[in-house]
Structure 1
């Protein structure tokens, strides 16, 4: 049985129950639909919105089937903040799709099964996951309201197994939780990220959690800095900042021993190399999900752009040569040159520095801190170094990246 409703009226109070049927449909076929405060539209089946249909929801839409939106206006009418109501997904497995993006007001998940995005989706109000999985897969879910409590959950989580993204808008220096997890493998993983911007500017941060070996996704775990012993083979995250330029602290939660003896965050740099992502400060985490007992922090030095991040284990560094990963040639007498600790003790060396496109920007033999690189003529950015040096008659090769920062 297929039940189809069309609406000749401009507006009305609606409280409709549709009898149970495996293929029942509620079709909003072009006329304005208004659900007043206190009213509920209950659909025991699918909801289809099409033909420039306009929905004003001050009450509740509750459905047990799938949501399909073919209206290019996003389905909901947000003129004068008219959409303050809820859309409740209370069935078994349910999908959110169609040929057009939906701009939901408030979304609540319930019932059983997995709720899956088949198309890019925005939520302008709150998202309550409760105990459900919201599978973003390869799509983009954007939660636009900037309150830190906009996303709530008990044991629910968001999965992005197809390299999709969860985006959150921010406008305050506080912790924004990204409750990411995955059931892709036999063992469920919950690996959330907290993002704390360092100012109150408007930003949009996104995180993707890929429950797979980084090497299988094009980020070879064997291509790594010399003192990176191992990169986590099970999963990694990708960070992105599509709006704003605020710096932020990114907290990654994990489990020892399930994730190995991780003690450092690494990121994949443009020169196809896993590099230490600053000082990670690994520490115990108490009071969270039972899967989580450790946390490490990545502090950004610039806007992040599709940046792969992974847990790693770093070898104890007894090497006499120490590299500093950034310098700021501003002429203020502080950190104006790129110095390498103890390089003066090993004059038999050859240093090459390349830009992100692989072009040579600096080269020196017998590099010393007295003639250290000052980045003359170069812009803020990431550069790659290759140092060949004899250390106590042993030839060694070091490679990694340097961040050149020019402050306005």
Structure 2
């Protein structure tokens, strides 16, 4: 038995619907639905918002069932400032169209799951619940650092979905990411601190799985990367803005002997992601006691990141993974430390499409590559060199970055 409540206009202090038999369902069929300030609409069952059905929520909507939106305008009028409270057991947010919630509060029991990408214009309070984004996108559009609050709640993105947050200040925005995918809870949040006050939209996905099984082979790595974390990795994305940022990755000593962040570069290789500065962290969560930082040199675009163990590098040759040929007399050429000591060498530079852009034998720093005629971007290097009578091959990436 299905019970439907269909109303065209509401102006009330408290309105309660309870399904006493079968599965209760509140259906808004198209006329304006207004919940006044201080009023509560309680639905013991599903809330279905049909096409062209607009909601002005200045009070509270509380439901114990699923949220289903079929309105292409996002269900809520932009003047809405009230809460939508999910207080049932397992609940889903879906329908045929995206919902633009004003504010969301999770409660009750069970897991709350996105079946369709969702925007929250105001705040999200996870309390102690899991919000399973799965393969969808959850976007928190309010740029306040406190737009997400929680006690022990978290957001999971096991299907490679993303949590996005809008930023407009140089402060730390928390991405409280975790997973129950493997039967035991793991919490691995990321904090993002933009380096300026421009408008940006940063996204993070946490994949609680071996990178190799997800298409990022852990065996394809820079020569001094000993092991890439086999248990999980993150993906960073910046869908709006171009601000540089610091990305703090929190982890535990139980993750193994890790001492470096690595990222998957366009040439299908795990490469060192700059200076990671691993250090202790005490933030009140029992799972977290370490943190490493990745500082971006350019806008991040679906960039896989992982913890790794790096071997002590006693090699006499040292590579720098960026240079800025902008004529200021600093870092204008790509120099390789100590390469002049080993003249039996051959260097090849390749762009991201696999085309050779530079090649030299007996590469020396006095005639180092200056990137002439090439655009900003990431390039791949392949150096064959004889070191102390031993032939060696080095490969990795270089970022060419001209500052206007």
RMSD: 0.9
Q: Deviations over 1:162-217 (max 9, x none)?
A: 00000000000000000000000022110000000000000000000000000000
Q: Deviations over 1:89-148 (max 9, x none)?
A: 000000000000000011000000000000010000100000000000000000000000
Q: Deviations over 1:323-368 (max 9, x none)?
A: 0011111111111110000001100001000001010000000111
Q: CA deviation at 1:289?
A: 1.2
- Is the Cα–Cα contact under 8 Å of residues 5 and 29 in structure 1 kept in the other structure? no
Q: CA deviation at 1:387?
A: 0.2
Paired position in structure 2 for 1:139: 136
Which of 154, 157, 167 is the matching residue for 1:157?
154
Paired position in structure 1 for 2:100: 103
TM-score, normalised to structure 1, is 0.97
Q: CA deviation at 1:64?
A: 0.4
Paired position in structure 2 for 1:12: 11
- Is the Cα–Cα contact under 8 Å of residues 83 and 105 in structure 1 kept in the other structure? yes
Q: CA deviation at 1:287?
A: 2.2
Which of 241, 263, 271 is the matching residue for 2:267?
271
- Tell me the secondary structure at the aligned position of residue 279 of structure 1: coil
Paired position in structure 1 for 2:386: 390
Paired position in structure 1 for 2:122: 125
Q: CA deviation at 1:379?
A: 1.0
User: Is 1:222 aligned with 2:193?
Assistant: no
- Is the Cα–Cα contact under 8 Å of residues 348 and 383 in structure 2 kept in the other structure? yes
TM-score, normalised to structure 2, is 0.98
- Is the Cα–Cα contact under 8 Å of residues 8 and 28 in structure 2 kept in the other structure? no
Paired position in structure 2 for 1:344: 340
Which of 247, 266, 290 is the matching residue for 1:250?
247
Q: Deviations over 1:7-56 (max 9, x none)?
A: 344x5226123234551100111111100011110011110000311111
**For residues 203-222 of structure 1, what are the structure 2 equivalents within 5 Å?**
203-222=200-219
- Whole-Å Cα distance in 2 between the matches of residues 151 and 21 of structure 1? 37
Paired position in structure 1 for 2:38: 38
Which of 176, 189, 193 is the matching residue for 1:192?
189
- Tell me the secondary structure at the aligned position of residue 382 of structure 2: strand
Would the alpha carbon gap of residues 154 and 22 (structure 1) be closer, same or farther in structure 2, given more than 3 Å must change? farther
- Whole-Å Cα distance in 2 between the matches of residues 391 and 400 of structure 1? 18
Aligned residues: 403
User: Is 1:170 aligned with 2:196?
Assistant: no
Paired position in structure 2 for 1:308: 304
**For residues 315-330 of structure 1, what are the structure 2 equivalents within 5 Å?**
315-330=311-326
- Is the Cα–Cα contact under 8 Å of residues 22 and 45 in structure 1 kept in the other structure? no
- Tell me the secondary structure at the aligned position of residue 255 of structure 2: coil
- Whole-Å Cα distance in 1 between the matches of residues 16 and 129 of structure 2? 26
Paired position in structure 2 for 1:24: 24
Q: CA deviation at 1:406?
A: 0.5
- Whole-Å Cα distance in 1 between the matches of residues 102 and 371 of structure 2? 50
In structure 1, the gaps of 5 or more residues are none
Which of 359, 367, 372 is the matching residue for 2:368?
372
Moved over 4 A (4+): none
Paired position in structure 1 for 2:56: 56
Paired position in structure 2 for 1:334: 330
- Whole-Å Cα distance in 2 between the matches of residues 219 and 283 of structure 1? 26
- Is the Cα–Cα contact under 8 Å of residues 6 and 31 in structure 1 kept in the other structure? no
Q: Deviations over 1:287-337 (max 9, x none)?
A: 231100000000000000000000000000000000001111111111111
Q: CA deviation at 1:3?
A: 1.9
Q: Deviations over 1:249-278 (max 9, x none)?
A: 00000001x211110000000000000000
**For residues 230-245 of structure 1, what are the structure 2 equivalents within 5 Å?**
230-245=227-242
- Is the Cα–Cα contact under 8 Å of residues 253 and 292 in structure 1 kept in the other structure? yes
- Tell me the secondary structure at the aligned position of residue 4 of structure 2: coil
- Is the Cα–Cα contact under 8 Å of residues 8 and 30 in structure 2 kept in the other structure? no
User: Is 1:288 aligned with 2:284?
Assistant: yes
